[in-house]
Each structure stands twice: as structure tokens, then as C-alpha cells.
């Protein structure tokens, strides 16, 4: 049912990748025990930590982990991979292939849903590092109040160090983070088990009846507790987005063998502690540890919280790369950090944007309790959107019976909407932040996509059909000069404007002319056998089409050098690349609003150059400009 055509890792490499995935993918969900139970049973909901309430919350936590992460994401949603790549953009590409859609159509609406869902992940990528690191550093105050003035400076220092490490790539980071995270999960399990053996009756919470009784007994207060219970599954969307970094097999194996057992032990251990001492609700996680272990635990917690941020940071990198290749964001500088896993990348501009946003959140909200109000709105909304898109993919792409898809996704939506409703009340207290960030990215992505389409239409209206140009070559004898000229243009059936400009001004034509079109397919990877199409025209002209997936970075010289055609020698020092460079002018013509046209122009001017993006040798590139009114 999956479209994944790449073999899963095996042998020693599988275990190395699984350990790396532990450090990158599960850091976020693995640090939820620090604050989730404290928030769920805290006094702000007006509920006391009685035996019934503790068992009720423990039941909700347990079944959230099973139903949301184990069943929804790991067993079902991860099947909706686009040749191994996951996340909102990959899911949206499965829903709607790269072709023009009628505004108002079902696919058009689903694409907008997917784009807004993807935009929400940027807000989550800013909040998660801030709240996890800050909550861990606040643990120092449990040990001694002397650390209180230094909590925010220490948090900012850790965040700066974390983002500075990103250039090493997820592989390099994972080799460091993986072993630390393994120690973290073992510690979680050990702390919880120590409490469980003292009060094993907390295990009765596995019975879901305790959860239903909790709602019946506490009414709306019990329902709003779901907003804090949701904190235990906040890594679900990042987990799905990180599929392309490690593959499904290592992620699933690590969850069921290490992560889930240790989390359940720790959550139930906190419940057992509170059953014996209700006052422990103030800091149940840290109070599970013996006094001699408190400082080592705070240090390990701080390290684990920094690692927790890695899942959403690497997820933001994956999301951005996909958006660039599918035409939703302008070209950005993307670095590949692994020769074995193509999904492991680093995007400097996104990295520093996230870092400054995280620092601003820490300085603005000051405490993890304040930040918790902003946490959850983005992820719960994303989970609702993921279920909607998955239902369409399961029905249309997998061919599942509609009644089966309806029953399955209706069950998922009951959970998703319950969590969403409990979190949406947080908007006035900080939940507005991820929504504002999402709105900004959504406007940018839709503006860029629409603007590129309008620009293509404007160029198309003034493009000379290639057949007419070939007729002109028959009638007119142009001066030919030695060498090869490569003219890049998005329309393989039209004559590149740069070619016409060159003929108009220089009155010469190279001995060999390559009309090159680069196409991005709706799949993450394109097989080498399908990469290149070469068609020999008359008068020394060749039409070449290069195809890339939306997770691949085009390398034009390498692809052209691989062409096996004795009549088309592409020697580096004898090949020139001619590119069109449009100067965009906002106008009141039919198209976008003027402010969006200006935004599009600004984004275009700040995009990575085509020369750099396509890997062209700078000293062999000629750019010919034109002014285009949008």
C-alpha cells in the first residue's frame, strides 16, 4: 500500500540507524514526562489528586499513547509515505498531483488544508525547543532556589548551542544524541518501576473504564484536562515528518521495544508516587528520584530536553526542502549531511530563524507554564488535518473501501477533535502564537505558488512556440560559433526567451544548442533510468528534460555529463549556460492583490540564485533579463 520503493536498512546499519532515530525522532515525546502529569493534575483545572482522578488521568495517558502514536501514526498514517518521505507536504503531494486545480474543487481545498497544516509545524518547531529546554532548566529550582535568576540565561545558552550544532546534520547529531537518549529512556523506566513496585495498584488504570469515569465525574473540567494529557503525544507529527530521515522500520522498532515501555513505566510511576503522596503533584517527575540522584537527574533532563528539540527542527528542515522543490517556497540553500541517507539535511536560514524565535519566546513568556498555554494548539490542529488527508489517500490511492476508511478515520477524528477542543481554549493565553506563525507561512507559500503560476502564464503569453522558431532557422542563416549553449526554460514546448534575446542582441547561435527543462515530480525520488529524456531536433538543437523528485537537489552539470550521446559532447569549458532573469513589477492587472505581488517580488529577489541552486559553474553562466508585470 505504501509507495516506498527503497529497501529498508538491515544488519548493523539498521541498529545504528535505530539508535540515531532514538536521539532525533523520539526526543520530543520522550521529554513529556517532565511536565505532562504535573500539568494534567495541577490545581489550575480545579481537580484534586484523589485516587480516582489519578487513575483516570493515567488511563487517559496510557490510551493516548496506544491509540494516537502506536495505532494511528505508526500503524496507519506512516503507510501514507511518498516513496519513503512523510510529513504534511508529502501527504499533500499524494492527495493532489502537481497540476493546476480549479479553485473551489475538493482537491484544491485539500491542498490548502495540507499547506496550512504544514505551516503549523513551523510554529510547533519554535515552541517545542523553548518549552522543553526551559521546563528542564527550571528543574534546577527544585534542587535549590539559588538557580532561579539563572534559569533564562542558561536556557538561552543551551538553545544557541543546540542550533549551532545543526550544521553537523542529523546523522552527526544522532550519533551524539542517540546514546544519551537511550540512557534517558532507561532512566525513565527505572524511576517509574521503582515507584510501581511500591504501589502496583496504579496499573488498574490500563482499564479504559477509569478514563470514561473521569469524564463522567468531572464534566467540563475533566474534558479540559485533555489539553494537558495531549502533551504526552505531541511528538506524533514530528515523528511522521522525520520518516524520510530514517525509514519506517527503525522508527517502529524503536518505539515498541524502548520508547513506549519506558514512557508507560514512568507515567505510571508518577501516578503511583502521587497516590502515596498527593503533595508530590508539585514536581512528580523530579520527586520520583532519591535525593542523591536529583542533581544528576536535572543534568540528564536538561540534556534530554535539548535533544527533544531535534525532532521538530529536523522535521522543519524536511518540510522546507519539500516545499521548495514543489514550488511553495523560493529556492533556499540546502546542505546534505549524509552520503547514505538522502533525507538528512541542514537549511541554515530556517535554522537561524527558529533559533531567534525560540529565544524570543523564552524572553517573552519567561516560564514553561506560560509557554504551555501556547503548546498544543498547532499540533492538535495538524493531527485533525492529517486524519482528513489520510482518509483521502487511503480511499483514492490505496483503494480501501470507503466504509472502512470512514469508520477508521471517524474514530481518529473523535480523538483528534477531543484534544483540539481541549486545547483551543488556550488561544487567548498564548495559543495565538503558532496560529500567527502558521498564517504567515501559509500566506508566503500560497503567494509564491500563485505568483509562480501567474509569472508562468505571463511568460507563456509572450513565448514563441518552438515549432515557429525551428521554421525561422530554416529560412534564416544565423552565424554559428563553436561550443555548446544550454538554455534553461520551464516550458519544453516553447522557445526560451534567453535564446531569443541572445539572437536579437548578439546575432549568433552556438554550434550545439540544448533546450533544457527541469521538472519536479510528485514523488520524492526519480530513478536514474527515468532522469533524462533527450530529443535531437534539427540544426544542432537538442531538447533535454531532467526530472527530479521533491526531496532531491538538482545537479545540472552532473546530469548532463551522464548523457551518452556522441553528437552532444558537453565539455565543461566549452559549455555555456544561459538563464532568463525576470524583474518582477507589481501592477493592478488581473492576478493577485498588489500587496501579495509586492511580497512575491521581495521573495523572488531574496531567493537563492538559479546558478547556485542548480549547481551551475558560475564562470559559465550568462543571465539575460526581462521585466514582467504581475
Task: Give the whole-number percent of the chain exceeding pLDDT 90.
Answer: 27
Indicate the pLDDT class of residue 261, thresholds 50, 70 and 90: very high
Cα separation, 265 vs 263, whole angstroms: 5
pTM above 0.85, yes or no: no
Q: Give the C-alpha separation, 493 to 409, whole Å.
A: 43
Confidence of residue 4 (pLDDT cuts 50, 70, 90): very low
Secondary structure class of 597 (helix, strand, coil): helix
Mean pLDDT for 605-621 is 85
Going from N- to C-terminal start, the domains of the chain cover: 11-430, 458-629
| Burial of 479 (C-beta count, 10 Å sphere; 0-12/13-18/19+) | exposed
Determine the pLDDT at residue 98.
53
According to the model, what pLDDT value does residue 2 have? 40
Summarize pLDDT for 498-519 with one digit per residue, the tens. 888 888 888 888 888 999 999 8
More confident site: 207 or 331 = 207
Helix (H, G, I), strand (E, B) or coil at 401: coil
> In this predicted model, what pLDDT tens digit does every residue of 96-121 receive, in sequence order?
655 555 666 777 788 888 889 888 88
Q: How confident is the model at residue 5 (pLDDT cuts 50, 70, 90)?
A: very low
Query: What is the rounded CA–CA span in Å between residue 80 and residue 394?
Result: 8
Query: What Rg do the C-alpha atoms of the chain give, in angstroms?
Result: 27
pLDDT in tens, 39-48: 888 887 888 8
Longest pairwise C-alpha distance within the chain: 95
- When comparing pLDDT for 477 and 401, which is higher? 401
pLDDT digits (tens, 9 = 90+) for 403-422: 999 999 999 999 999 999 99
The pairing of strands 345-346 and 335-336 is antiparallel
CA distances from 144 to 131, 282, 304, 413, 471 (A): 21, 15, 21, 44, 85
Q: What is the CATH number of domain 11-430?
A: 1.20.1740
pLDDT tops 80 at residue 89: no
Query: With 90 as the cut, is the pLDDT of residue 186 above it?
Result: yes
Residue 90 in grid coordinates: 508529502
Q: How high is the pLDDT of residue 540?
A: 85
Reported as a pLDDT band with limits 50, 70 and 90, residue 316 is: confident
In angstroms, the CA 331 to CA 325 distance is 8
CA separation for the pair 23, 173 (Å, rounded):
8
Higher per-residue confidence, 138 vs 284: 284
User: Stretch 378-398: mean pLDDT, rounded?
Assistant: 88
Name residue, grid cell 544524541. Answer: 177
pLDDT per residue as tens digits for the range 428-448: 888 888 899 999 999 999 999
Q: Name the residue with higher pLDDT: 125 or 411.
A: 411
pLDDT in tens, 321-365: 878 877 889 888 887 665 444 556 788 999 999 999 999 999 988
Q: What sign results for the dihedral spanned by CA atoms 151, 155, 158, 160?
A: negative
Give the three cell numbers for residue 28.
520530543
Taking the C-alpha atoms of residue 418 and residue 337, their distance in angstroms, rounded to an integer, is: 40
268 Rama class: left (phi>0) / alpha (psi -120 to 50) / beta: alpha
Question: What's the grid cell of residue 612?
Answer: 547556485
d(CA 181, CA 305): 10
How far is the CA of 461 from the CAs of 51, 101, 454, 456, 519, in angstroms? 73, 20, 11, 9, 20
Please report the pLDDT score of residue 8 as a whole number.
57
- Place 257 in a pLDDT band, splitting at 50, 70 and 90: very high
Q: Which of 536-545, 562-571, 616-625 has the highest mean pLDDT?
A: 536-545
Average pLDDT, the chain: 84
Amino acid at each position: 500500500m505504501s509507495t516506498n520503493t527503497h529497501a529498508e536498512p538491515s544488519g548493523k546499519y539498521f541498529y545504528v540507524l535505530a539508535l540515531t532515530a532514538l536521539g532525533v525522532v523520539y526526543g520530543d515525546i520522550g521529554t513529556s514526562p517532565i511536565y505532562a502529569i504535573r500539568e494534567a493534575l495541577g490545581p489550575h483545572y480545579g481537580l484534586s489528586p484523589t485516587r480516582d482522578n489519578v487513575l483516570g488521568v493515567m488511563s487517559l495517558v496510557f490510551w493516548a499513547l496506544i491509540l494516537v502514536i502506536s495505532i494511528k501514526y505508526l500503524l496507519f498514517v506512516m503507510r501514507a509515505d511518498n516513496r519513503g518521505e512523510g510529513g504534511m507536504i508529502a501527504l499533500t503531494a499524494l492527495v493532489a498531483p502537481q497540476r493546476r486545480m480549479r479553485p473551489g474543487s475538493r482537491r484544491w481545498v485539500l491542498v490548502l488544508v495540507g499547506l496550512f497544516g504544514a505551516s503549523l509545524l513551523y510554529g510547533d518547531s519554535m515552541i517545542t525547543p523553548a518549552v522543553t529546554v526551559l521546563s528542564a532548566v527550571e528543574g534546577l529550582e527544585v534542587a535549590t532556589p539559588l538557580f532561579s535568576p539563572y534559569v533564562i540565561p542558561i536556557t538561552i545558552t543551551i538553545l544557541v548551542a543546540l542550533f549551532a550544532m545543526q550544521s553537523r546534520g542529523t546523522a552527526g547529531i544522532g550519533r551524539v544524541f542517540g546514546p544519551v537518549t537511550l540512557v534517558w529512556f532507561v532512566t525513565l523506566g527505572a524511576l517509574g518501576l521503582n515507584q510501581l513496585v511500591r504501589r502496583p495498584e496504579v496499573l488498574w488504570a490500563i482499564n479504559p473504564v477509569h478514563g470514561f469515569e473521569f469524564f463522567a465525574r468531572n464534566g467540563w473540567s475533566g474534558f479540559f484536562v485533555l489539553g494537558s494529557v495531549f502533551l504526552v503525544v505531541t511528538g506524533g507529527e514530528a515523528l511522521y515528518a522525520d520518516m524520510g530521515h530514517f525509514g519506517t522500520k527503525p522508527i517502529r522498532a524503536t518505539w515498541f521495544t524502548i520508547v513506549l515501555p519506558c514512557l508507560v513505566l514512568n507515567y505510571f510511576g508518577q501516578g503511583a508516587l502521587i497516590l502515596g503522596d498527593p503533595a508530590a503533584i508539585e514536581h512528580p517527575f523530579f520527586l520520583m528520584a532519591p535525593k542523591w540522584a536529583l542533581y544528576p537527574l536535572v543534568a540528564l533532563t536538561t540534556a534530554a530536553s535539548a535533544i527533544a528539540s531535534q525532532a521538530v527542527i529536523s522535521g522543519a528542515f524536511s518540510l522546507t526542502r519539500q516545499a521548495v522543490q514543489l514550488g511553495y517556497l523560493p529556492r533556499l540553500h540546502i546542505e546534505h549531511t549524509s552520503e547514505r541517507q538522502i533525507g538528512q539535511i541542514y537549511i541554515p536560514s530556517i535554522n537561524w530563524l527558529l533559533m531567534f524565535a525560540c529565544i524570543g519566546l523564552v524572553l517573552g513568556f519567561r516560564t514553561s507554564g506560560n509557554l504551555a498555554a501556547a503548546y498544543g494548539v498547532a499540533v492538535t490542529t495538524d493531527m485533525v488535518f492529517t486524519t482528513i488527508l489520510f482518509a483521502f489517500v487511503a480511499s483514492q490511492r490505496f483503494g480501501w473501501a470507503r466504509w472502512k476508511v470512514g469508520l477508521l478515520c471517524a474514530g481518529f477524528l473523535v480523538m483528534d477533535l477531543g484534544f483540539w477542543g481541549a486545547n483551543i481554549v488556550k488561544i487567548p493565553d498564548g495559543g495565538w502564537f503558532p496560529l500567527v506563525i502558521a498564517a504567515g507561512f501559509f500566506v508566503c507559500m500560497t503567494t509564491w505558488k500563485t505568483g509562480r503560476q501567474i509569472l508562468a502564464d505571463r511568460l507563456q503569453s509572450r513565448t514563441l512556440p518552438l515549432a515557429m522558431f525551428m521554421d525561422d532557422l530554416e529560412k534564416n542563416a544565423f552565424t554559428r560559433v563553436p561550443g555548446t549553449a544550454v538554455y534553461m526554460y520551464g516550458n519544453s514546448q516553447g522557445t526560451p526567451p534567453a535564446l531569443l534575446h541572445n539572437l536579437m542582441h548578439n546575432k549568433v547561435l552556438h554550434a550545439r544548442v540544448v533546450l533544457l527543462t527541469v521538472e519536479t515530480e510528485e514523488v520524492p525520488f526519480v530513478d536514474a533510468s527515468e532522469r533524462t529524456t533527450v530529443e535531437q531536433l534539427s540544426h544542432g538543437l537538442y531538447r533535454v528534460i531532467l526530472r527530479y523528485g521533491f526531496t532531491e537537489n538538482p545537479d545540472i552539470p552532473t546530469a548532463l555529463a551522464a548523457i551518452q550521446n556522441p553528437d552532444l559532447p558537453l565539455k565543461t569549458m566549452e559549455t555555456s549556460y544561459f538563464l532568463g532573469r525576470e524583474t518582477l513589477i507589481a501592477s493592478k492587472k488581473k492576478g493577485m492583490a498588489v500587496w501579495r505581488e509586492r511580497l512575491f517580488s521581495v521573495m523572488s529577489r531574496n531567493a537563492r540564485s538559479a546558478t547556485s541552486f542548480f549547481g551551475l559553474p558560475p564562470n559559465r553562466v550568462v543571465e539575460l533579463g526581462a521585466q514582467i508585470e504581475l
